[in-house]
Amino acid sequence: MPKSVQENPAKCPLGPGSLPLHLWSYFRAPLRCYQSLAARYGQPFSVPSPFGGRMAVSGCPAHIEQIYKGRGENYRVVDTASGMTFGENSLGALDGEAHARVRRALMAPILRHPAHAAGLMRDVALAVCAGQSYGESFNMLELARTITLDVTVRTIFGILDEAERRDFIAAIHALRDSISSLAIFVKALRYDLGPWSPWGRFVRARTRCYDLMDKRLATAREQGEDAQNSVLAYWASLRDPDGAPLMSDAQIRDNLLTLSFAGHDTTASALAWGMYWTHVEPGVLAALLDELGDYAKTLDTGLLKRTPYLDAVCWETLRIHPIAPGSIRRLARAMELGGYVVPEDSLVMASTDLVSADPSIYPDPERFRPERFLERNYGPDELIPFGGGERRCPGAAMAFMEMRVVLATLLCRYEFRLCETRPVKPAWANGIRQPETGVRIRMEGLRDTGRPRANADPIAS
């Protein structure tokens, strides 16, 4: 019998005690691991955490609601070394009033002009796909990364010449490729032992991003760039009541890095899964194309405002394959959760994996069935792909819009055929879960917009 905390007099949640054994089990099969622990110990259960101490985990909506309703002063920074990754001023490294102040500044500019943003997303998707050859298979995840990174760079940094745009894209690619998933979760691995060490490569890739951001920030200020042009220019324009800059250069730089790195890769993974499932399930593709018939003829993004089945496809994609396993908080004071006491300085997780696969909430949860989102509304404690509460993803609206616009544009403009012969499984990469194969797909040609039709064959489940 594994070591557990059953003997703890404070009535802590029960769970295994060995960190190495737990991590081995978890990273092999995250959902199966947590479902097994929930079946054995109930919810919440607890696990040893690589961030130190223990973490109480629950996918119960009542517990999720309680975690998300906790105010900022009840929580601390999850990983005290998180500033080593994206900087001491990044949103993830802050708590309390400092976190609230930076978050307010982050939220304001991301979707100030939704119609313009939607048009940009459509145009970038079409431009990237124009470079693909008909009849040749390609990696959908890589194509989606190209689209989302280009959109991210244009949205965050504004009007760039072609050389600047290429420099930013290359630098962010290098940053993504340099980081280790283990280093994200295990702070003991974050040591710079030179340019050939894993963390050393990351530090140097990050420095290159910082240099480009500093140069772009200086240019925006020198030229008096309109605050509406980009997130960077907007943040640089913010002033407090005394007229002083609301955000320091370090705060701007660290949070630009967070948006650049985290924003595009997660959306790209969701897009790759969306393309996968719409071609695994021909009925879904047919229903989606039927709803998008008018959009297919004009590609006027204004026609995507009332497309409930497109929304349902996107939500079901995020439900069946959560990009992140859950939302984690570190307690500044003890919390009562499900009849247990979670001690101060422990972690609590609202488990996206567990709640998304709960058959009492989502019947037949392993089936991709968008119709479930047309049949009922799910609460903010049941559908949590972007987290919740005061630390909900600040880019959630932009990410969901991009998923909708790009998926609709690709499916309406082109016919694709899935090249996978076996079901695609999720795999860890850069601290998130992505399609293990990247999703191999082939572009067959332009779609007949006068008579949209499904062209996919189901694969073995």
- What residues contact residue 305 under an 8 Å CB cut-off, 6+ apart? none
- Per-residue pLDDT tens for 23-65? 999 989 999 999 999 999 999 999 999 888 899 999 999 999 9
Dihedral angle over CA of 204, 207, 208, 210, nearest 10 = 160
How many helices (H) and strands (E) in the chain?
18, 12
Alpha-carbon distance 105 to 242, whole Å? 17
DSSP H/E element including 330: strand 326-331
Segment (H or E) for 414:
strand 414-418
Establish if 324 belongs to a structural domain: yes
Evaluate whether residue 273 is within a structural domain: yes
Classify residue 457 as exposed, middle or buried by CB count within 10 Å of its CB (0-12, 13-18, 19+): exposed
Q: Whole-angstrom Cα distance, residue 300 to residue 122?
A: 9
Residue 231 CA neighbour count, 13 Å, CB half: 28
Q: Is the dihedral of CA 302, 305, 310, 314 positive or negative?
A: positive
182 pLDDT tier (thresholds 50, 70, 90): low
- Among the listed residues 93, 269, 235, 261, the one whose alpha carbon sits nearest the alpha carbon of residue 158: 235
What digits encode the pLDDT tens for the residues 371-384? 999 999 999 999 99
Q: What is the pLDDT of residue 9?
A: 45
Residue 380 included in any domain:
yes
- Classify residue 173: in a domain, yes or no: yes
Give the pLDDT confidence of 422-431 residue by residue, as tens digits: 999 999 887 7
pTM of the model: 0.89
List beta partners, residue 347: 55, 330
Residues in the chain: 461
Percent with pLDDT over 70 in the chain: 89
- Tell me the CATH number at 100: 1.10.630.10
Q: What is the number of alpha carbons within 13 Å of residue 44 lying toward its C-beta?
A: 30
Instruction: Say if 168 falls within a structural domain.
Output: yes
Q: Of residues 91 and 305, which shows the higher confidence score?
A: 305
Give domain status of residue 415, yes or no. yes
Over range 397-417, report the average pLDDT. Answer: 96
> What's the rounded Cα separation, in Å, for the pair 180 and 169?
19
For the residues of 340-377, what is the DSSP string, one character each?
Answer: EEEPTT-EEEEEHHHHHT-TTTSSSTTS--TTHHHH--
Does residue 459 lie in a domain region?
Answer: no
C-alpha to C-alpha distance for 135 and 122, rounded to whole angstroms = 23
| pLDDT tens digits, one per residue of 200-236 | 888 899 899 999 999 999 888 888 777 777 888 888 8
* Angle, helices 249-280/162-178, rounded to nearest 10 degrees: 80
Number of domains observed in the structure of the chain: 1
Asked if residue 25 belongs to a domain, the reply is yes
Amino acid at 120: L
Taking 70 as the threshold, does the pLDDT of residue 10 lie above it? no
Enclosing domain of residue 319: 19-446
User: What is the rounded distance in angstroms from the CA atom of residue 457 to the CA atom of residue 461?
Assistant: 12
